[in-house]
Amino acid sequence: MNQEHKIISRRFKDIFNTNVRYEIPFFQRGYAWEKKQWDKLWSDIYEEIIPALDDNNFENEEHFFGPVVVLEKANAPHPNLKRYLIIDGQQRITTVYLLLGLIKKSLNNLSPLSSEAQSYCAEIDQLLSNNITDIDDYLKLKVFSSKGDRYPTYKTIFQENPNSPFLLEDQKLYFPDTNRIDQFVKFYNKKNKKF
């Protein structure tokens, strides 16, 4: 069997810009990044990305974040949704997805003060949420885990509980004291207060 493999450099904006679901296979570990990796990401943001914003040259800046290897699946839970299995890079793609959700939340707090904040929130929302209505709100998630991370990811991105037939099952798998997604949210909030 001969399969075609493509290596393409893309921006996170490009990979989140459509109705898509990046699934973390069940056999892979859950979200596991810790302070060491978050500190490195935060350092990269402040040393490489923020200065590009100041130069008004952000669109031309590149930062290699590491590979994200995916395998497109033919069947999807919804006809308007492309589905990919994440083979490599789940920690990176999950972190960026969560970070976008947290940035949107911060910008929402500024929305009454700035029309630009409202505009950025709308732009980020397109990257965070699939435009799909269904009985399962989890279809809105673009990064999807079947482990105890799905529920806290949804709460972080949408700031509410999902309407889903899987909600009770997911709440049983969720341990807020040890969940790394919740720990990342705390890390972000602490760092964001200093900014």
d(CA 9, CA 20): 18
* Alpha-carbon radius of gyration of the chain: 17
Q: Which two tokens stand for residue 88?
A: 């490599």
d(CA 9, CA 14): 10
Res 74 pLDDT > 90: no
Q: What is the mean pLDDT of residues 118-135?
A: 90
pLDDT of res. 5: 63
pLDDT in tens, 147-162: 789 999 999 999 999 9
Res 1 pLDDT > 50: no
pLDDT of res. 129: 96
Q: Quick check: 130 and 144 in contact, CB under 8 A? A: no
pLDDT in tens, 17-67: 899 999 998 888 899 999 999 999 998 888 876 666 666 665 666 667 778
Q: Quick check: 125 and 101 in contact, CB under 8 A? A: no
Residue 2 binned pLDDT confidence (cut-offs 50, 70, 90) = very low
Q: Quick check: 48 and 33 in contact, CB under 8 A? A: no
pLDDT in tens, 83-119: 999 999 999 999 999 999 999 999 888 877 788 888 8
pLDDT of res. 194: 64
pLDDT of res. 116: 83
The answer to pTM > 0.85 is yes
pLDDT in tens, 184-193: 999 999 988 8
Residue 142 binned pLDDT confidence (cut-offs 50, 70, 90) = very high
